[in-house]
């Protein structure tokens, strides 16, 4: 019944959501549905949502509000997936009664059946039950965003309960994908010509093969042995679970990129404790120093929250101090906003909004200077770049270097999808410019 139906998938949020959307698209393609070029030319609109920050939920609600007219005009089916679906369930249907289905992350495999049942008007509108085991979903190459760099999910859920984070309530407890299945997918991707693999999970450092008990370093070793792959990345890592063994694996296997995203969240021990992060600033710094000693060229990025309840100017200065000391190549920084069900939501959100904004601006402007200086140091050097395609401006190509920095460059030949050498000729705070070296 889905055969020939045109579907449009709109994805909010992180790489995990992008990869989930690729899985969902694969399920629909398998049933004979076809991708639509735009929402107004579709029979089915699927929105994959993110609940991590209040801002992304507001953006989603405004998008859903705009779909009402289309529903009335064209009778398009509208399905809400993801963390917001899992979190708000009935509330979502009450606020947007024209939604046809609300499906949480643990229930994606039921989506085609639910859509068929919907046509027969026998379908419940909410699917948000929990899964305790790993559910294997197929993925088709044509559903992937890129034909050169692929996301591969290795675990899902989180047991950490950081006090500000809603993820354990939307994704549930940790479930690990069997290593045998990960390796099969990776080998298939390498055979199909993919050059880069990004292993995904909310907390990849806690990965444990349910069949053998092997941990992330062993998985990385096995993936490194797959012929044809050039680069392997993994995210997100939790600092408390980042081990010496993992640092050794990064230093030993040449395909593992010398790049790591390690969320710090705050530089103040008092705030880290209130966040229930399970490490101190000293322990975080020790791990960074270990990494820098084993991999002197490592490129580090992080997440930071400003304005967490009770955060003082002194706490914030301690965050700035670590940013200065570590010299991240990129940061993702946010103003704190309370999320439903979390421990922090019970704390008084007592840092005034204007103070949060001021701290965020100061943090981001210092980071901009750091990035500008780090990028400038690369000018004149020749670096390997995985070309992901044409840049938005069209006349240049765009890719990323091993440090995951954006490189826009010129080339006389079509190098899309290739690993090439690029001479860096210019830089700005957010990207590098260069010329392909033939
Ligand atoms: S580690 Fe903390 S921040 Fe990350 S997903 Fe788990 S609870 Fe959320």
pLDDT at residue number 391: 85
What is the mean pLDDT of the segment spanning 98-115? 91
Q: Which of the 8 DSSP states describes residue 208?
A: B
What's the pLDDT at 298? 97
Alpha-carbon distance 334 to 266, whole Å?
11
Residue that the structure tokens 């393609």 belong to = 29
Find out whether the beta carbon of 165 lies less than 6 Å from any atom of ligand 1.
yes
Tell me what pLDDT residue 326 has: 98
**What's the CATH number for 270-376?**
3.30.750.200
Other CB atoms within 10 A of residue 169 CB: 17
Question: Does the 146-257 domain belong in CATH 3.40.50.2000?
Answer: no
158 lines ligand 1 (CB under 6 A): yes
Q: Residue 393 has what pLDDT?
A: 73
Check residue 106 and give its pLDDT: 86
| Number of Cα atoms under 13 Å in the Cβ half of residue 95 | 19
Which tens digits make up the pLDDT trace of 343-386? 999 999 999 999 999 999 999 999 999 999 999 999 999 999 99
Contact 102, 122 (CB under 8 A): no
For the sheet containing 34-35, what is the strand order? Answer: 34-35, 6-11, 44-49, 77-82, 101-103, 126-127
Per-residue model confidence (pLDDT) at position 120: 79
Write the residue with the smallest CA distance to atom 1 of ligand 1: 160
Please give the pLDDT value at position 128: 84
The pLDDT assigned to 126 comes to 84
Residue 156 tokens read as 């899902």
Q: For position 117, what pLDDT does the model report?
A: 87
Confidence of residue 44 (pLDDT cuts 50, 70, 90): very high
Q: Is the distance from CB of 154 to CB of 207 less than 8 angstroms? A: yes
194 contact partners, CB below 8 Å, separation of at least 6: 147, 148, 149, 150, 228, 229
> Is the shortest distance between the CB of 202 and ligand 1 below 6 Å?
yes
Say whether pLDDT at 118 is over 80.
yes
Q: How far is the CA of 236 from the centre of ligand 1 (A)?
A: 9
Please state, for a pLDDT cut of 70, what percent of the chain lies above it.
99
Lowest mean pLDDT among 68-72, 81-85, 389-393, 418-422: 389-393
Residues ≥6 apart with Cβ < 8 Å to 105: 20, 81, 82, 83, 86, 156, 170, 171
Decide whether 270-376 matches 382-436 in CATH topology.
Answer: no
pLDDT digits (tens, 9 = 90+) for 201-221: 999 999 999 999 999 999 999
Per CATH, the number for 6-127 is 3.40.50.12160
Looking at the domain 382-436, which fold is it?
Answer: OB fold (Dihydrolipoamide Acetyltransferase, E2P) (2.40.50)
C-alpha of residue 427 to centroid of ligand 1, in Å: 34
Distance 62 CA to ligand 1 centre (A): 26
- Is pLDDT at 438 greater than 80 in this prediction? no
Query: What 3-state DSSP class applies to 432?
Result: strand
Q: Does 142 score more than 70 pLDDT? A: yes
Give the start-to-end residue ranges of the domains of the chain.
6-127, 146-257, 270-376, 382-436
Report CA torsion sign: 294, 325, 377, 146.
Answer: positive
> How many angstroms does the Cα of residue 302 sit away from the middle of ligand 1?
13
Task: Report how far ligand 1's centroid is from the alpha carbon of 277 (Å).
Answer: 8
What's residue 359's pLDDT?
A: 98
The answer, yes or no, to whether any atom of ligand 1 lies below 6 A from the CB of 272, is: no
Q: Would you say residue 262 has pLDDT above 70?
A: yes
Lowest-pLDDT range, 11-15, 223-227, 394-398? 394-398
Please report which residue ranges of 226-266 form alpha helices under DSSP H: 244-252
With 90 as the cut, is the pLDDT of residue 52 above it? yes
Percent of the chain residues topping a pLDDT of 90:
90
Out of 50, 83, 155, 160, give the residue to mutate to test ligand 1, the one with the largest number of ligand atoms within 8 Å of its CB: 160
Can you tell me whether residue 27 is helix, strand or coil? helix
Q: Which atom of ligand 1 is nearest to the CA of 168?
A: 7
**What's the pLDDT score for residue 122?**
66
Return all residues near 409 (Cβ < 8 A) that are at least 6 apart.
385, 396, 397, 398, 399, 422, 433, 434, 435, 436
**Mean of pLDDT over the chain:** 95
| pLDDT tens digit sequence for 265-291 | 999 999 999 999 999 999 999 999 999
124 pLDDT higher than 70: no
Are β-strands 397-401 and 382-390 bridged in parallel, bridged antiparallel, or unpaired? antiparallel
Tokens of 295: 């991999």
């Amino acid at each position: 019944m889905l055969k020939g139906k045109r579907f449009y998938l709109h994805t909010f949020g992180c790489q995990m959501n992008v990869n989930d959307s690729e899985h969902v698209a694969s399920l629909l393609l398998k049933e004979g549905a076809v991708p639509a070029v735009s929402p107004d030319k579709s029979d089915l609109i699927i929105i994959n949502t993110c609940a991590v920050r209040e801002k992304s939920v507001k953006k989603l609600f405004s998008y859903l509000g705009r779909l009402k007219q289309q529903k009335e005009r064209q009778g398009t089916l509208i399905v809400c997936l993801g963390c917001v679906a899992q979190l708000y369930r009935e509330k979502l249907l009450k606020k947007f009664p024209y939604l046809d289905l609300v499906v949480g992350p643990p229930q994606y495999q039921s989506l085609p059946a639910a859509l068929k049942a919907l046509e027969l008007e026998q379908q419940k509108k909410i699917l948000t039950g929990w899964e305790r085991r790993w559910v294997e979903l197929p993925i088709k190459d044509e559903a992937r965003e890129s034909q050169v760099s692929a996301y591969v999910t290795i675990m899902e859920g989180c047991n950490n309960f950081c006090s500000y984070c809603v993820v354990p309530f939307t994704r549930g407890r940790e479930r690990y994908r069997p290593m045998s299945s990960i390796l099969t997918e990776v080998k298939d991707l390498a055979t199909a010509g993919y050059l880069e693999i990004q292993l995904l999970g909310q907390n990849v450092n806690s990965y444990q093969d349910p069949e053998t008990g092997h941990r992330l370093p062993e998985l990385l070793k096995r993936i490194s042995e797959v012929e044809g792959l050039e680069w392997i990345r993994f995210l997100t890592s939790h600092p408390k679970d980042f081990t010496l063994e993992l640092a050794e694996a990064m230093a030993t296997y040449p395909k593992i990129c010398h790049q790591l995203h390690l969320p710090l969240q705050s530089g103040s021990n008092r705030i880290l404790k209130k966040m229930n992060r399970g490490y101190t600033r000293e322990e975080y710094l020790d791990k960074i120093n270990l990494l820098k000693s084993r991999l002197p060229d490592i490129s580090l990025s992080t997440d930071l929250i400003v304005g967490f309840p009770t955060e003082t100017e002194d706490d914030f200065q301690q965050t700035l101090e670590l940013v200065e000391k570590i010299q991240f190549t990129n940061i993702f920084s946010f103003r704190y906003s309370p999320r439903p069900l979390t421990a922090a939501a019970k704390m008084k959100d007592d840092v005034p909004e204007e103070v949060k904004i001021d701290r965020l601006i100061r943090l981001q402007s210092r980071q901009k200077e750091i990035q500008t200086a780090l990028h400038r140091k690369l000018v004149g050097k020749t670096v390997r770049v995985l070309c992901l395609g044409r840049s938005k401006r069209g006349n240049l190509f765009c890719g990323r270097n091993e440090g995951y920095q954006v490189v826009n460059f010129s080339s006389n030949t079509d190098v899309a999808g290739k690993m090439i050498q690029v001479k860096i000729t210019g830089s700005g705070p957010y990207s590098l410019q260069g010329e392909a070296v033939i």
